[in-house]
Homo-oligomer: A and B are copies of this chain.
Amino acid sequence: MRERANRTTIRRVAREAGVSVTTVSNYLNGRHSQMSAATRERVREAIERLGYHPNHVARSLATRRTATIGLIISELTNALYPPVILGAEAACRQAQYSLLLANAPDAGSERRAVELMRRKQVDGLILFSVSFIDIANDHLLRAHEEGVPIVVINRTMPEGAPIPRVVLDNFRGAYLATRHLVELGHRRIAHIAGPSNRFTGLDRRAGYLAALAEAGLESDPRLVVEGDYSFESGYQGMRTLLDHRPSAVFVGGDAMALGALRAIRDSGLRVPDDLSLVAFGNPDFVHYATPALTTVDLPIVEAGQIAVELLLERIAVPETPEETRVLQPGLLVRESAIPLA
């Protein structure tokens, strides 16, 4: 390891092939047109013989492009992050980009992650954020201003912020879930809401209320409790709700739904016979529960993919205007919600 292996660089290849480095560089970058067939073959052969592979770091320094994008994830209890990675990684790979991943559990580490990735010269940044409504954005706006393409997923931004976003239509999803229960004949429909300092919590609650209103159902405040997206808060919330005898419940989060399911079981009732339940979140997560939970299906893999696509557009054409992409959730009807007896 000590002795310098006299690495094979583009200059060595050039010498071996008896051409200039420019010619080798042209060959590597597919500018075959201005090259005779003979030269092309000699370069190819020299590369082959030396087992040469170009150094991306050097290339990046010269071109100022790294073909790498940064994905910063603030996860905290977030079962949604693996599908986002999946979607983003697939889209990157397809476009011949690499993914630099960082976890940013708090505001400070998010700042550090953005800073580090900028120094590493990523071509763009994606932030998949936790849905707090009072999240800090100044570092993102600054980075944007200094020319770093950014896309955010699931994040509140000040009105008119010039940063493209991918958002999931939480309102609509909650509306669909609740309407489904209405259509099954339920009238006393409860809701376990997410925290009110999260826009996901607020939007889903609003969607729930809208569906009730549309159906001409009065909303009983005692039928809404607030959780924190944890299994335990779902369990506790459901225990509280059971006192007020709902016939169905829309739970605004997947872990909470499993908690609610458990609470219902523990009180001797059965889903869906005694009580219908609709969940919200990662559809895989609740698929294998018993009974399989009817759930709002968030297109999370797509969110990751689309975020990458939006970003790549901005990288290619920096002037591309800001844009908000709203992804529509679906409803996966499974076994946990049935018509009111």
Q: Which residues of A contact B (CB under 8 A)?
A: 1, 53-58, 60-61, 66, 68, 81-82, 85-86, 89-90, 93, 98-103, 109, 115-121, 147, 231, 255, 258-259, 261-262, 265, 288-290, 318-319
Closest partner residue, chain B, to A81 (CB atom): B82
B121 touching A98, Cβ below 8 Å: no
Closest partner residue, chain B, to A109 (CB atom): B93
B261 touching A290, Cβ below 8 Å: yes
A99 touching B98, Cβ below 8 Å: no
Residues of B within 8 A of A115 (CB): 53
| Number of this chain's copies in the complex | 2
A93 touching B99, Cβ below 8 Å: no
B261 touching A119, Cβ below 8 Å: no
In the assembled complex, 19 residue pairs joining A and B whose CB atoms fall closer than 8 Å, in A order, are A1-B318, A1-B319, A53-B119, A54-B119, A55-B61, A55-B121, A56-B121, A57-B57, A57-B120, A58-B61, A82-B82, A86-B103, A89-B103, A93-B103, A98-B100, A100-B100, A259-B288, A265-B290, A288-B289
**Contacts A61-B57, A100-B98, A102-B98: A290 and B262 contacting too (C-beta < 8 A)?**
yes
How far, in whole Å, are A113 and B261 apart by their CA atoms in the complex?
A: 42
Interface of A is mostly: helix
Residues of B within 8 A of A85 (CB): 85, 101
How far, in whole Å, are A117 and B53 apart by their CA atoms in the complex?
A: 11
Closest partner residue, chain B, to A286 (CB atom): B288
CB distance from A259 to the nearest CB of B (A): 8
A57 touching B121, Cβ below 8 Å: yes
Residues of B within 8 A of A109 (CB): 93
Residues of B within 8 A of A58 (CB): 61
B89 touching A101, Cβ below 8 Å: yes
**Contacts A55-B121, A120-B57, A288-B231: A100 and B102 contacting too (C-beta < 8 A)?**
no
Closest partner residue, chain B, to A119 (CB atom): B56
A98 touching B86, Cβ below 8 Å: no
How far, in whole Å, are A288 and B258 apart by their CA atoms in the complex?
A: 6
Residues of B within 8 A of A102 (CB): 89, 93, 98-99
How far, in whole Å, are A103 and B87 apart by their CA atoms in the complex?
A: 11
Residues of B within 8 A of A57 (CB): 57, 60-61, 66, 120-121
Closest partner residue, chain B, to A65 (CB atom): B57
How far, in whole Å, are A228 and B121 apart by their CA atoms in the complex?
A: 43
**Contacts A57-B57, A61-B57, A100-B100: A290 and B290 contacting too (C-beta < 8 A)?**
yes
CB distance from A125 to the nearest CB of B (A): 13
Residues of B within 8 A of A116 (CB): 98
Residues of B within 8 A of A258 (CB): 288
Contact partner, A90, options B55, B99, B103, Cβ 8 Å: B103
CB distance from A170 to the nearest CB of B (A): 22
